[in-house]
């Protein structure tokens, strides 16, 4: 083994520190996705792959420093030792190129969780394809740039070099920088169409645009590629390039992981009850129930916090849980007190916007039904079939700020009409007359999503919700006979409250209510959706299949009609 000195010790120190930082972020990311969100996706596996490659890269560079990397040829003296260092350096460049490429792929796959536009999806896939090709090409040619291969690290070997790899390095580096900035700019186009306050848009977009720092590192690394010609003695000149390659990889993973770590931050800062309205995912998640392409949110659902989904809810009906539902059998029998139900876990890979991580319906309570104003009672021509179903309320262990309930007295006609008047409820052109909407809500089994208006600290198991101390922020209206037929419609969560897993939780509570255990004679479930990518999700969760399509020029999109016969009787 040769000498160890020059820039070698400094190189090793920087690279191993960055490897440790890299590993910390990967560990926190995987912990968040697995234990906080229960939503591990493809991008997480790519991050883990990148970590392995980063460690391999650092190990090769370390081995090269033991043979003289970071020193001049004259300082090493022994040609065999020196060229051995060059060999390990070239091996490190293979791992380095791959870890950078995998890092870019991680960011791209993450963005696929939140985009809605087909053009954006195709753009991301095009970037991923180009990145994969360039990474593979560069990783191979860095070794086989000369014939015989040994000449790639030993210029004195007879043969020739058919490729000037420095030019390849500039091309690859330029593309990686372009990809960083493209992926950093894209979230602004995604976020700007959402129904959120401008300040929130800027915050979310900035959180998803941290890749500009990786791009800056890439620019510096590309400028440091001057010494990659195998015909020269380059071991001291390439140290900056080696360091900035590791830095670029580390910064890429750090920046792509920061939005994902938001739920962990909420969990640590606010404790197990997660008292923040944003106790949601590591993304801001756009649509997490109906129309979104999902990702995850806190409470085990959420969009990747900073955005994981477009705030366009789905006009869809969902009604039956074909997946295993372990809720108590008396969920529809009005038992009082607190009862625990098991958690459902269903996931659909394409949606890290829609990872349906289970309703997390940990507790539910029963509240007495009260009479409605005579004005509205008179609007009902007959007793709705749902009147025989006892109202239920679900809360989450992770946060008491929100709850879901089928209690009719909590429904707010004004709040629902205000939501219908907003653009994100695209299937309704204008609000309904209040008496009509009241009959729509009370003639169906309506699942309301509510937040407490009083301090969360004062809310406990004995607190009875009422219109005076709650605010309705979401709805799932189920048209049903209470026995054999269900159709879910008008499902939404206000955009400003998306990102907390409320949409998926809402759908999960609906699925639990209409499971085989709770409604054994259910014969038909139906829903409408306008998004082909959600069809597999609904099929997986509710067992529905596409049975027809409807062209809706007035909405600018086609609707897909899905149906199933879960417990058909002979």
Residue 396 is part of a domain; what is its CATH number?
3.40.630.30
Read off the CATH number of the domain in which 242 is found.
1.20.1070
Position 130 pLDDT exceeds 60 = yes
- On average, the pLDDT of the chain sits at 74
- Indicate the range of 262-266, 330-334, 445-449 predicted with least confidence: 330-334
- Distance CA(504)–CA(288), nearest Å, equals 6
The reported pLDDT for the residue numbered 555 is: 63
* Residues 364 and 422 placed together within one structural domain of the fold: yes
The residues facing 478 across adjacent strands are: 445, 488
Give me the helices (H) in 192-238, please.
Answer: 198-208, 211-223
Question: Which tokens in the block code for residue 390?
Answer: 């006892």
Per residue in 136-157, pLDDT (tens digit) is 999 999 888 889 988 888 888 8
Query: Is residue 276 one of the residues assigned to a domain?
Result: no
The reported pLDDT for the residue numbered 561 is: 84
Q: Which domain holds residue 144?
A: 8-257
Position 20 pLDDT exceeds 90 = yes
For residue 301, give the nearest of 25, 116, 39 by alpha carbon.
39
Q: Helix, strand, or coil here: 304?
A: strand
* Residues 420 and 555 placed together within one structural domain of the fold: yes
| Mean pLDDT of all residues in 452-476 | 84
The reported pLDDT for the residue numbered 463 is: 78
Residues contacting 455, CB < 8 A, separation 6+: none
Give me the helices (H) in 293-423, please.
Answer: 374-377, 413-420
* Residues 313 and 418 placed together within one structural domain of the fold: yes
The residues facing 365 across adjacent strands are: 393
Long-range contacts from 141-150, C-beta under 8 angstroms, 24+ separation: 141/165, 141/168, 142/90, 142/93, 142/94, 142/97, 142/168, 143/90, 143/91, 143/94, 145/230, 146/230
Segment of 160-164, 174-178, 265-269, 499-503 carrying the highest mean pLDDT: 174-178
Decide the pairing of beta strands 160-161 and 294-295: unpaired
* Residues 370 and 507 placed together within one structural domain of the fold: yes
Position 134 pLDDT exceeds 90 = yes
Asked which of 205, 239, 257 is the last residue of a domain, the reply is 257
The reported pLDDT for the residue numbered 306 is: 34
- How many contiguous H segments (helices) and E segments (strands) does the chain have? 15, 14
| Mean pLDDT of all residues in 35-54 | 87
Which residue has 């319906």 as its token pair?
Answer: 361
Position 287 pLDDT exceeds 70 = no
* Residues 107 and 239 placed together within one structural domain of the fold: yes
520-538 burial code (b ≥16 CB/10 A, e <16): eebbbbbbbbbbebbbebb
**Cis peptide upstream of residue 122 (ω within 30 degrees of 0):** no
Position 216 pLDDT exceeds 70 = yes
Query: Is residue 100 one of the residues assigned to a domain?
Result: yes
Cβ-contact 307, 208 below 8 angstroms? yes
The reported pLDDT for the residue numbered 411 is: 94
> What is the enclosing helix (H) or strand (E) of 340?
strand 339-340
Position 262 pLDDT exceeds 60 = yes
* Residues 165 and 233 placed together within one structural domain of the fold: yes
Position 174 pLDDT exceeds 60 = yes
The residues facing 353 across adjacent strands are: 294
pLDDT band at 233 (very low <50, low <70, confident <90, very high): low
Nearest-10 Cα torsion for 276, 279, 282, 284: -80
Query: Is residue 283 one of the residues assigned to a domain?
Result: no
Query: Is residue 267 one of the residues assigned to a domain?
Result: no
Cβ-contact 546, 561 below 8 angstroms? yes
Residues contacting 329, CB < 8 A, separation 6+: 517, 518
Half-sphere exposure at residue 442, Cβ-oriented, CA atoms within 13 angstroms: 25
* Residues 57 and 113 placed together within one structural domain of the fold: yes
* Residues 47 and 163 placed together within one structural domain of the fold: yes
Query: Is residue 515 one of the residues assigned to a domain?
Result: yes
Query: Is residue 76 one of the residues assigned to a domain?
Result: yes
- Indicate the range of 1-5, 231-235, 355-359, 401-405 predicted with least confidence: 355-359
* Residues 371 and 418 placed together within one structural domain of the fold: yes
The reported pLDDT for the residue numbered 224 is: 74
- How many CB atoms within 10 Å of residue 302? 39
Query: Is residue 273 one of the residues assigned to a domain?
Result: no
* Residues 244 and 325 placed together within one structural domain of the fold: no
* Residues 253 and 317 placed together within one structural domain of the fold: no
Q: How far is CA 207 from CA 29, 112, 187, in A?
A: 15, 16, 9
Cβ-contact 324, 339 below 8 angstroms? no
Position 230 pLDDT exceeds 60 = no
Enter the pTM of the model: 0.52
* Residues 200 and 318 placed together within one structural domain of the fold: no
Phi-psi region of 85 (alpha: psi -120 to 50; beta: other; left: phi over 0): alpha
User: How many domains does the chain divide into?
Assistant: 2
- Distance CA(236)–CA(142), nearest Å, equals 18
Query: Is residue 484 one of the residues assigned to a domain?
Result: yes
- Distance CA(501)–CA(288), nearest Å, equals 7
Position 461 pLDDT exceeds 80 = no
- Indicate the range of 316-320, 506-510, 565-569 predicted with least confidence: 316-320
The reported pLDDT for the residue numbered 348 is: 35
Position 103 pLDDT exceeds 50 = yes
């Amino acid at each position: 083994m040769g000498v160890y000195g020059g820039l070698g010790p400094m190189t090793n120190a920087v690279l191993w520190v960055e490897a440790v930082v890299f590993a910390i972020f990967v560990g926190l990311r995987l912990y968040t996705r697995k234990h906080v969100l229960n939503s591990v996706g493809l991008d997480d596996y790519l991050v883990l792959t990148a970590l392995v490659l980063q460690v391999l890269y650092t190990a090769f560079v370390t081995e090269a420093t033991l043979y003289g990397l970071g020193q001049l040829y004259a300082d090493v003296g022994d040609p065999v030792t020196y060229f051995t260092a060059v060999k390990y350096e070239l091996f490190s460049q293979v791992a380095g190129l791959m870890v950078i490429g995998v890092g870019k792929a991680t960011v791209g796959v993450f963005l696929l969780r939140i985009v809605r536009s087909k053009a954006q999806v195709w753009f991301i896939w095009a970037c991923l394809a180009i990145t994969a090709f360039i990474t593979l090409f560069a990783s191979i040619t860095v070794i086989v740039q000369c014939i015989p291969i040994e000449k790639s690290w030993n210029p004195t070997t007879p043969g020739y070099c058919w490729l000037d790899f420095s030019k390849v390095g500039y091309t690859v580096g330029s593309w990686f920088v372009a990809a960083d900035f493209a992926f950093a700019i894209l979230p602004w186009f995604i976020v700007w169409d959402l129904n959120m306050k401008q300040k929130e848009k800027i915050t979310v977009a900035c959180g998803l645009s941290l890749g500009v720092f990786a791009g800056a590192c890439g620019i510096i690394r590309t400028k440091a590629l001057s010494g990659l010609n195998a015909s020269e003695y380059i071991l001291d000149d390439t140290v900056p390039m080696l360091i900035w390659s590791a830095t670029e990889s580390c910064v890429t993973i750090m920046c792509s992981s920061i939005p994902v770590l938001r739920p962990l931050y909420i969990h640590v800062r606010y404790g197990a009850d997660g008292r923040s309205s944003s106790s949601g995912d590591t993304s801001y998640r756009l649509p997490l129930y109906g129309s979104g392409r999902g990702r995850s949110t806190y409470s085990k659902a959420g969009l990747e916090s900073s955005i994981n989904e477009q705030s366009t809810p789905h006009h869809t009906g969902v009604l039956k849980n074909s997946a295993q539902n372990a809720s108590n059998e008396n969920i529809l029998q009005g038992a009082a007190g607190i009862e625990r139900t098991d958690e459902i876990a269903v996931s659909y890979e394409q949606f890290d916007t829609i990872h349906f991580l289970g309703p997390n319906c940990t507790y539910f309570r029963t509240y007495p039904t009260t009479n409605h104003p005579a004005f509205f009672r008179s609007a009902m021509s007959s007793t709705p079939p749902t009147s025989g179903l006892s109202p239920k309320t679900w809360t989450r262990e992770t946060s008491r700020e929100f709850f879901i309930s089928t209690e009719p007295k909590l429904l707010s006609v004004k709040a629902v009409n205000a939501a219908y008047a907003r653009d994100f409820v695209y299937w309704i052109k204008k609000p309904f007359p209040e008496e009509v909407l009241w009959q729509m809500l009370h003639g169906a089994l309506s699942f309301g999503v509510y937040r407490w208006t009083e301090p969360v600290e004062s809310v406990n198991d004995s607190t009875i919700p009422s219109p005076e101390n709650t605010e309705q922020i979401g709805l799932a209206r189920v048209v049903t006979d209470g026995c054999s037929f269900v159709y879910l419609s008008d499902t939404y969560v206000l955009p400003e409250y998306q990102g907390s897993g409320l949409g998926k939780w809402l759908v999960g509570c609906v699925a639990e209510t209409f499971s085989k255990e709770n409604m054994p004679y259910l014969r038909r479930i139906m829903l409408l959706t306008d998004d082909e990518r959600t069809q597999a999700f609904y099929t997986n969760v509710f067992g529905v299949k596409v049975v027809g399509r409807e062209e809706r020029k007035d909405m600018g999109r086609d609707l897909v009609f899905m149906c199933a016969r879960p417990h058909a009787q002979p």
